[in-house]
Structure 1
Amino acid sequence: MKSKQIRQTFLEFFENKKHQIVPSAPMVIKNDPTLMFTNAGMNQFKEYFLGNSDPKNNRITDSQKCLRVSGKHNDLEEVGVDTYHHTMFEMLGNWSFGDYFKKDAISWAWELLTEVYGIDKDCLYVTIFEGDKSEGLERDTEAYDYWKELIDEDRILNGNKADNFWEMGAQGPCGPCSEIHVDIRSKEEKAAVDGATLVNMDHPQVVEIWNLVFMQYNRMADSSLKNLPNQHVDTGMGFERLAMVLQNVQSNYDTDVFTPLIREIETITGHTYGKTTQEDIAIRVIADHLRAVSFSIADGQLPSNNGAGYVIRMILRRAIRYGFTYLGKKEPFIYQLVNTLSKQMGDAFPELKSQKNLILNVIKEEEASFLRTLENGLTLLDSMISGMKSAGSKTLDGKKAFELNDTYGFPKELTRLILSEQGLEMDEEGFAIALKKQQDDSRKASATETSDWTVLVDDDTQEFIGYDKLEADVRISQYRKVTSKKDGELYQIVFNMTPFYGESGGQTGDKGYLESASGDTVYIIDTKKENGQTVHLTKNLPKEIGGTHKVVVDAKQRARTAANHTATHLLHQAMRKILGTHVEQKGSMVRSASLRFDFSHFSKVSAEELVEIENFVNARIREQLSLEENRDNTYDQAMEDGAIGLFGEKYGDVVRTIKFGESNELCGGTHVKNTGDIWHFKITSESAVASGIRRIEAITSDAVKDFFTEQSKSFEEIKAVLKNPTKNPAESIAALQDENASLKKEIEQLLKAKAGNLKGDLIASAKSINGVNFIATKTDLDAKSVKELVFDIEREMENLFLIIGAANGEKATLTVILSKNLVEEKSLDAGKIVRELGKHIQGGGGGQSHFATAGGKNAAGIDVALAAAEGLI
């Protein structure tokens, strides 16, 4: 079976079991503070497991894009080294939300594997949870009883808590699980060693392919377990491993999931897969990491220096480093693989096709940037090695190796490799200590303690009324305390209904206040969304928790935010009209003060285009277009009607569309009722974010009024300084610039003449000391004139040692030039000399062996430095 057929067979099998096929959720998670990436198929259904909302269908199946590179589920170090771990992988899954449970999950899994896919029963083993006394959990005899009807009992193995009790994180839904393992060894190997002894022992041919998780519990903040409101099934089968089994190969990388990429890598690099271990690892790493990075970019996550972007950059740099070190690729090449990936997986994941050019350009730019970093790192490392050899040391200090890695991005493994090639080694312990200190400091800075929810109202539903109302009478349904070093002690409060908009879709959360019946007021400083609920952040709780409270949204901030959000839609429309329909939103930040809009475009937006875009938006504002809103549209109908959706966003079956004239977008944010409410739109900046991604920042409403007021004030101040109330200030400034340029030329000519006069005097003042023509002087010439002067003299004199000290207020510079024969014959070095003399002016410097400069902050030390220079010879 080809991989496309394997995926389709799985989905159709469960569709026939009355499951709804749903698309993969984005790999990058946006509205769950506990997770950065989708690391399991169940992530997008977390709110259903917690009971915060109800699914439209109790049976669902999909193929979910997953990424495991951080936190508890971190497979990064195994990727490439073995043949069955991956960063990005597909998780085939079937789900039951309070519907079927263990019996059907087990029997259907067995039916699919053995009857539909045709896997030999004698190749399979299953595991069940053996129980855990410390948790008060019994052995899963229910699962055992179902399995023994299907498979020999000697193939049902007990598994401990680590292997057979599935948890997504430190908190959240969890439960016992049954894993299905496959043994694809040869008959001879199976006869020699019992496969049961190799299960969960990291054997490359005895691997887990499917995990059936029976969600029964919720792990609380205090580590206790509570029963979930309903019992659920959450299964996940590794698509790549399944393909390995069904295509009768010994490695995931030998399946048609990876072979097209590997063949392309062979073509580009000239290396053949299967020849040497280290080259094979490098090729596997590049093939795997390309997928992870490409899918992340398609989902809207660009490489960056923090958060999810940092992880993506780290993955890509790991691939670049392997290509650099083991395949000899010193130029960008990984980006060339994007075309192959798009052709191979674009049908199942259309975002790879539509975002291909963006993915390609971002990876190419990142490769070029990091290869420059590697070059700089090599220079620094060479310098460190020279210092080590001079000192007679064979071990590079761990702190220096860590600094090279942490500050300059130079990989630890590459440092170790280069050292070993020269018979040197790295202080591994010192590196580990420095790394641990940084991690501890980072952990302390971001550490958060979260208590369990205190539930007051046993009601899972929460109604959002913020599109129509800015205040309401509500009840507190639950609350908890969250403590972090950054924010201190805060409370998270959930109401049974809320007019507050929780941060999402690029729009910041509402602020406002809560007022109790007794008059007690608590300020709501922010609003977030978490697992399908709107959570309100406060610095304290109301004195009376129970009863009814009045909550009020800050109307002024909401109005400003709504104006900026609507302007963002009009801006998007304007750019697609003026720059082209290739423009797509790649991120946004909508606040009360301003808006920020990131978009795909491969060149700087010109000043003329920016004016045209601004004028287009303001024309729509003057038209006073009324809001056309549909809160109950289906996703398919909205797309058919021409609405624009964003890649990387998770949309349900029912969506909200926002229309202002021809602007038509899927959006859950707040908007003005009429574009006239925006008043005016003004672009404040346009810049690059990454290769192929530009950013526009803009303001509307009151912020524009403030902007024009400030501009007018500055204009009047300029006119006052120029003392020309009737003339055009621009003409006066241009005249001043012309005058300034003319005066600069006159000064340059005067300095040149002065230096010319000084040249003869200096040559005449030369002292002959030990065969060296020594000249030392102090001057007030600028640096350019001094440089020209010393090179002029050097061309006319042999055996020259010339030093000039120049003062500019308290600042001082020293310039040293040596005849090249002195450098060669007497082993003099201008760089070393100037560094030593620079101490007298409280500074430092360097340069070439025949010419060098130093700068310092003690002009009074120049005379001492000149005298010391004479003492050197």
Structure 2
Amino acid sequence: MKKNTKKFSLSCIRESFTEYFVANNHRELPSSPLVPVNDNSLLFTNSGMVQFKDYFLSKARPPFESAVTVQNCLRAGGKHNDLENVGYTARHHTFFEMLGNFSFGAYFKEESILYAWQLLTEVFDIEPEKLLVTVYFEDTESYDIWRKKINLEAHRVIRIGDHNGNRHQSDNFWQMADIGPCGPCTEIFFDHGPSVKGGLPGSSDGEGDRFVEIWNLVFMEYQKLASGELGKLPIPCVDTGMGLERISAVLQNVTSNYEIDVFKRLTRKISSFIDLDQSHETSLRVIADHIRASCFLISENIVPSNEGRGYVLRRILRRASRHAYKLGKRDPFLHKFVSDVVSDFQQPDQFVENLNLISETILMEEEKFSETLVKGLRILQEELEKSKTKVLDGNIAFLLYDTYGFPVELTADICRENEVTFNLEKFDEEMAKQKTRAKVASKFVLNEEVGITNHSSVFTGYNDQKVSSEILALFSKGKEVRRAKEGDQVSIIFDRTCFYAESGGQVGDTGIFNSSEATFEVLSTNKVGRAFVHHGILRQGKISLKQQMYGEFDLKNREMIKRNHSATHLLHFSLRQVLGSTVTQKGSQVDAKKTRFDFAYSKPLTGKQIEEIERIVNNEILSNEKTVMSEMPYDEAIESGAIGLFGERYESNVRVMQIGSSRELCGGTHVERTGDIGSFKVLSESGVASGVRRIEAITANAVVSHFRTIENILSRSCALLGATPINLVERIETTLTSLDKNEKTLAQMNMKSIKRQIKELIEKAKKNCEDEPFKIIADEIKHVSVKELREASDEITSGCSSSFTVLGCVFKEKVHVVVRVTSDLMDKLSADFIAKEMAIMIGGKGGGKSSFAQAGGSIPSKLEPALIKIKKFIFYKIRSVNEN
């Protein structure tokens, strides 16, 4: 029997896989982004086939018949979520690399299986006896290939049936969705030997680690219909996937992915830094995996936030920080290993270029989580103090975990220290609900309008304002119809259009389509597949399929959009000049009124930075450079210095827009010369998410209107203060100084009034209670704030021993009451009890401690009678206690 003696590094395996398929006439393609392009059905790219989905769905025709990729994948959110398993198993990761080869009609089952077997046994030199396979029980063709072509013994080709008799619900039958492409798959397993626990695939103990699935070959040959029946696909396709980390473990003769070369080096560095041995295996695995995943996510301009992909990144980083906390590491340190990930995992230039951004983002999140820990500890302590039982509600533990990112393990530890347990079943129940919601939200579904993607429109709008068109398809209320009448809201696809469809942040065109008997007003335009869809209202007449109409977009609206879009390019250029080349676009919205530009940056811009940005853009406008559009291959465009939006899917040939000093890939509409923009002004700069800033800006006539508005405000201000624009600031400063002086004088007079009232209250209390062992002060203090009311109660209590003090005021139309009880009287009647009684009388809520409490209400007229009543209440309550 052969023995695998080759020692493959992870990078060597990656290269060998690609070289093998390139030699077998496959097109090598780069990994698509972790954020799926034009696909809202997935949070993250979770397999190699995602970038080819349109080809499998026949929504687009592939420019090649076979391909090979090494795809970056993430499974840490939505339907495919391995996050909670990472660290506790030998195989789970958040981020991983998927090796895959794909066929779009070039070959099918036999060639796929032969390719896989040859690569594993001849190139990777794995002992054939160590391999076994599974096939779908009805896939006789694949079974026969393994038995007759590969010559595997019958016991090493395992037929897998349906789960619980449910048709096509099997580990060996793959389907993209409830409806759509599907087919059987064959999986190749590696046997680690009897020293590792686990049974054969398909057996009751098949989840063990002995037999590890290393490669899955999916044969998409059917189209699943709504009826559940299967129809044959016109062109069968192949989609395969092999986890790079798993095959590396096999080829490096280890049983855990975390024992392969790159992970072993990283965990050793982490344990050495924390000064621990590697016995803390689980936490070290978690930290190593999560640092790697975070680096890749941040390199694609994802930043920690409380929703969507940013929330997944936040959970990953906080889970890593929690395990660092368990290891006794309190100070931020995860960011120190970013460079190790880059060097060990040998990633592309984009990764290296963002090194500082990645480190800074991780450090910032570590520091924030440190604050969260403090907040979580405070909330938990309050809940423990309030709890009248020795059991903490599981809802509280889940709230801390889900809302504040507070580790449930830490909650359990603190509960144990306080001899309190928490309802783990309730926590698990809430967690299960959350996972169910996430699965439903992320389930892969086909585009609702997939039926209209068979149509395509020719776009003429770069050069033409008018077009003669034929109606290809009509839609009303979500359904395809043959005709429409006056007043109907419809969506129309024409064979030709000059209307720009919403794309790249630019809104779609508006305008009119006319015929001799109908007028259709276009309110918006978007694109579905290759079809331009015009949404609007049929203002008059009737229309039907095949009818000829004449379209014209709103030229004035288009011109304003063009100015704002070109200004957006210049804004992006200026941001990179002022803030550095690591600034990357996160999104934009360009319409006729303004431009909105989101970009990755960790802190607010200063006034000087905004001023410099405006100066650069306006200088570019003044230069009045001619806009140059070029079409060229994508790679050539990037080499020429053009900037593309990361994660955007571009055609093989792209449009490059040279607008002044800006050079970007863009399919939008633009001005002919930079001078056409007119002028540029930033309206606002703000934060929209952690690490993401937003600038809103205007151009041309909107700038004139903006300054006219400011000029009107300036004129009114001058008139009010009797000033001119030249000395307005000086007059405002003088006025403010005078106001400040008057406020201080008023405050001093008010304080004298408060002291006089306090003195009178104490004297009145002593006089009224001469024959009692205690004093009661219950009165309203006029013209004070809540803070001053509390201070007054302090002063009264300190100057009046054995006393009950109940003071009230009306501040900002709300009733406020403070209650103080001296220590010698608290056991007879507490401040908390008195405040609650007052709250009932003034129509509000109240409470506090035995010595001090507060109440608040919304009915000012009830304050005076309430104070009279509470004085009597206290008097009779104490007398009753004394008599008993």
What's 1:644 paired with?
A: 643
1:736–1:680 distance in 2 versus 1, CA, 3 Å: same
- Bigger shift: residues 470-479 or 331-340: 470-479
Give CA-to-partner distance per residue, 1:756-808, whole Å, 9 cap, x none.
33343233234469744443321114224334433344444444443321123
1:183–1:549 distance in 2 versus 1, CA, 3 Å: farther
Deviation at 1:736? Answer: 2.4
2:162 corresponds to 1:167: no
What's 1:292 paired with?
A: 293
- Residue correspondence of structure 1 range 592-611 to structure 2 within 5 A: 592-601=592-601, 603-611=603-611
What's 1:382 paired with?
A: 381
Contact 2:564–2:698 (CA<8 Å) still a contact in 1? yes
Corresponding residue to 2:48 among 41, 52, 68: 41
1:693–1:180 distance in 2 versus 1, CA, 3 Å: same
Q: Secondary structure at the match of 1:202?
A: coil
Deviation at 1:251? Answer: 0.9
What's 2:805 paired with?
A: 802
Q: Secondary structure at the match of 2:250?
A: helix
Q: Distance in 1 between matches of 2:324 and 2:475?
A: 49
1:602–1:378 distance in 2 versus 1, CA, 3 Å: closer
**Which has the larger Rg?**
2
1:35–1:430 distance in 2 versus 1, CA, 3 Å: closer
What's 1:568 paired with?
A: 568
Contact 2:182–2:221 (CA<8 Å) still a contact in 1? yes
Give CA-to-partner distance per residue, 1:81-138, whole Å, 9 cap, x none.
322122221111112222222222211111111111111111111222223xxxxxxx
Q: Tell me the number of residue pairs that the alignment of Structure 1 and Structure 2 aligns.
A: 844
- Bigger shift: residues 549-558 or 203-212: 549-558
What's 1:82 paired with?
A: 89
- Residue correspondence of structure 1 range 668-683 to structure 2 within 5 A: 668-683=667-682
Instruction: Give the AA of the match of 2:190.
Output: V
1:748–1:407 distance in 2 versus 1, CA, 3 Å: same
Contact 1:222–1:451 (CA<8 Å) still a contact in 2? no
Give CA-to-partner distance per residue, 1:472-513, whole Å, 9 cap, x none.
4455666778869xxxx9987665555444444333444556
Corresponding residue to 2:34 among 27, 32, 37: 27
What's 2:739 paired with?
A: 740
Corresponding residue to 1:790 among 790, 793, 809: 793
What's 1:372 paired with?
A: 371
1:559–1:386 distance in 2 versus 1, CA, 3 Å: same
Deviation at 1:175? Answer: 2.6
2:784 corresponds to 1:777: no
Contact 1:58–1:98 (CA<8 Å) still a contact in 2? yes
Give CA-to-partner distance per residue, 1:684-733, whole Å, 9 cap, x none.
11234456543322122343344234333333443444455787443433
Instruction: Give the AA of the match of 1:424.
Output: T
Q: Secondary structure at the match of 1:777?
A: strand
Deviation at 1:617? Answer: 0.8
Q: Distance in 2 between matches of 1:434 and 1:109?
A: 40
Deviation at 1:586? Answer: 3.8
Give CA-to-partner distance per residue, 1:194-240, whole Å, 9 cap, x none.
64565993222312111112233445667665544422222111111
Q: TM-score, normalised by structure 2?
A: 0.85
Q: TM-score, normalised by structure 1?
A: 0.86
Deviation at 1:627? Answer: 1.1
Give CA-to-partner distance per residue, 1:639-678, whole Å, 9 cap, x none.
3322223433344543321102322122233322222222
What's 1:11 paired with?
A: 18
What's 1:305 paired with?
A: 306
2:421 corresponds to 1:424: yes
- Bigger shift: residues 401-410 or 314-323: 401-410
- Residue correspondence of structure 1 range 435-834 to structure 2 within 5 A: 436=433, 453-454=450-451, 463-474=458-469, 496=495, 498-512=497-511, 519=518, 521=520, 523=522, 525-528=524-527, 543-548=543-548, 550=550, 552-601=552-601, 603-631=603-631, 633-689=632-688, 693-722=692-721, 728-767=727-766, 771-783=773-785, 784-808=787-811, 810-819=813-822, 821-822=823-824, 826=827, 830=831, 833-834=834-835
Contact 2:79–2:439 (CA<8 Å) still a contact in 1? no
Q: Distance in 2 between matches of 1:447 and 1:844?
A: 50
Corresponding residue to 2:246 among 241, 265, 276: 241
Contact 1:473–1:551 (CA<8 Å) still a contact in 2? yes
Q: Distance in 2 between matches of 1:496 and 1:207?
A: 53
Contact 1:63–1:92 (CA<8 Å) still a contact in 2? yes
Contact 1:171–1:219 (CA<8 Å) still a contact in 2? yes
Deviation at 1:246? Answer: 0.9
Instruction: Give the AA of the match of 1:344.
Output: D
Contact 2:503–2:526 (CA<8 Å) still a contact in 1? no
1:629–1:417 distance in 2 versus 1, CA, 3 Å: same
- Bigger shift: residues 848-857 or 799-808: 848-857
What's 2:3 paired with?
A: none
Q: Distance in 2 between matches of 1:400 and 1:102?
A: 53
Q: Distance in 2 between matches of 1:434 and 1:359?
A: 30
What's 2:857 paired with?
A: 856
Contact 2:46–2:74 (CA<8 Å) still a contact in 1? yes
Contact 2:41–2:442 (CA<8 Å) still a contact in 1? no
Aligned-residue identity in percent: 37
Instruction: Give the AA of the match of 1:467.
Output: Y
Instruction: Give the AA of the match of 2:19.
Output: E
Q: Distance in 2 between matches of 1:862 and 1:546?
A: 77
Q: Distance in 1 between matches of 2:390 and 2:489?
A: 52
1:172–1:688 distance in 2 versus 1, CA, 3 Å: same
Corresponding residue to 1:122 among 122, 129, 142: 129
Contact 1:818–1:850 (CA<8 Å) still a contact in 2? yes
- Bigger shift: residues 791-800 or 285-294: 791-800
Q: Distance in 2 between matches of 1:202 and 1:499?
A: 58
Q: Distance in 2 between matches of 1:508 and 1:271?
A: 56
